[in-house]
């Protein structure tokens, strides 16, 4: 028997969306609003149509608008589980990683190995750590995501208006992101643009992978060589579109996968790089730049962490 059934004898709850909720996905809104209700049940009532927006069905990805009326069926709510508090060292690490902060935005140099959010066996990620460290903050939301093993520039919105503005920039390609990656083998020539279409796939095991497929979504990445060695090349990768695992899959498509990539990489190359001291995916969100809502230009860069610099040093003298 489900522990969180809807309570048909009670009237539904009607909520009018205000300006601070505008732009938020309805599944995320309900997860926050319905404390103690499992996410699986929230998605169930969304799919069944028991949750309504302006009297109509809404997909989990629907983004709320100011003035929307959300109908929530009455349901019994469990007591919210108390999440484990992040350790002081993790909080201190993120505080030391702040690259930029203003009234609406926070940008950190995310360390490798820390997820951006909790879930799938992870008690807490960057967003949970920041919320625990700043309990007085009325609003903290991820603007975008980085893979757990990827380090570098990560944006967190402190205001709904900032979140909406940057999401608009991302949709309209008004945000420039630059990554650094160490890829397999020597690079021949200069700048190269990859335009291979990408499609998400889910294996029978449930693992999510992205593949180059003609019927996939149009995707573009610009690669520029920075330093070359006989066995590897440090490149700058500029994603001109924002697909899942885009840089990793495009690099593998070139036949030069990223060092330490266990999903799309080359096992023999990864072992050789482990001998050079690499213990993670060599992909780093090095910089981003954009125009803020007030017209000011924001440009932030994140240096490579010492562990990655040691790997480059272990490769010896660059050949170009």
Q: Which residue numbers are catalytic?
A: 147
Which burial class, exposed, middle or buried, applies to 84 when counting CB atoms under 10 A from its CB (0-12, 13-18, 19+)? exposed
How far is Cα 198 from Cα 138, in angstroms, rounded to an integer? Answer: 37
How far is Cα 122 from Cα 224, in angstroms, rounded to an integer? Answer: 35
| Alpha-carbon torsion angle 80, 86, 88, 89, nearest 10 | 180
Among residues 95, 165, 81, the alpha carbon closest in space to that of 126 is found at: 95
How far is Cα 36 from Cα 39, in angstroms, rounded to an integer? Answer: 9
DSSP letter, residue 25: B
Among residues 57, 64, 42, the alpha carbon closest in space to that of 163 is found at: 64
Tokens standing for residue 307? 């562990």
How far is Cα 292 from Cα 183, in angstroms, rounded to an integer? Answer: 33
CB 248 within 8 A of CB 258: yes
SS3 192: strand
How far is Cα 287 from Cα 294, in angstroms, rounded to an integer? Answer: 21
How do 192-194 and 13-16 pair as beta strands?
Answer: unpaired
| Alpha-carbon torsion angle 71, 141, 62, 218, nearest 10 | -170
How far is Cα 130 from Cα 141, in angstroms, rounded to an integer? Answer: 10
How far is Cα 136 from Cα 195, in angstroms, rounded to an integer? Answer: 45
Element (H, E) at 130: helix 126-133
């Amino acid at each position: 028997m489900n522990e969180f059934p809807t309570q048909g004898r009670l009237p539904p709850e009607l909520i009018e969306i205000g300006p601070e909720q505008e732009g938020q996905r309805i599944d995320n809104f309900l997860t926050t609003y319905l404390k103690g209700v499992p996410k699986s049940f929230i998605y169930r009532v969304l799919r069944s149509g028991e949750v309504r927006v302006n009297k109509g069905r809404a997909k989990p990805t629907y983004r709320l608008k100011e003035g929307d009326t959300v109908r929530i069926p009455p349901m019994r709510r469990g007591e919210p589980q108390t999440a484990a508090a992040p350790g002081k060292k993790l909080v201190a690490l993120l505080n030391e990683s702040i690259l930029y902060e203003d009234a609406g935005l926070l940008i950190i140099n995310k360390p490798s190995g820390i997820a951006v959010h909790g879930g799938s066996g992870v008690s807490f990620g960057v967003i949970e750590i920041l919320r625990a460290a700043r309990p007085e903050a009325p609003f903290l939301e991820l603007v975008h995501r980085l893979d757990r093993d990827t380090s570098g520039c990560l944006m967190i919105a402190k205001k709904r208006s900032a979140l909406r503005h940057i999401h608009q920039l991302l949709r309209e390609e008004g945000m420039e992101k630059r990554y650094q990656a160490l890829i397999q083998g020597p690079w021949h020539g200069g700048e190269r643009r990859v335009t291979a279409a990408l499609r998400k796939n889910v294996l029978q095991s449930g693992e999510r992978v992205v593949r180059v497929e003609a019927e996939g979504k149009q995707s573009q990445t610009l690669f520029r060589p920075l330093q070359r060695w006989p066995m590897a090349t440090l490149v700058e990768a500029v994603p001109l579109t924002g697909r899942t695992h885009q840089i990793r899959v495009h690099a593998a498509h070139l036949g030069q996968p990223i060092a330490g990539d266990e999903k799309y990489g080359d096992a023999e190359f990864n072992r050789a790089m482990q001998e050079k001291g690499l213990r993670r995916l060599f992909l780093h969100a090095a910089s981003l730049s954009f125009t803020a809502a007030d017209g000011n230009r924001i440009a932030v860069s994140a240096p490579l962490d010492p562990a990655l610099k040691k790997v480059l040093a272990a490769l010896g003298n660059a050949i170009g």
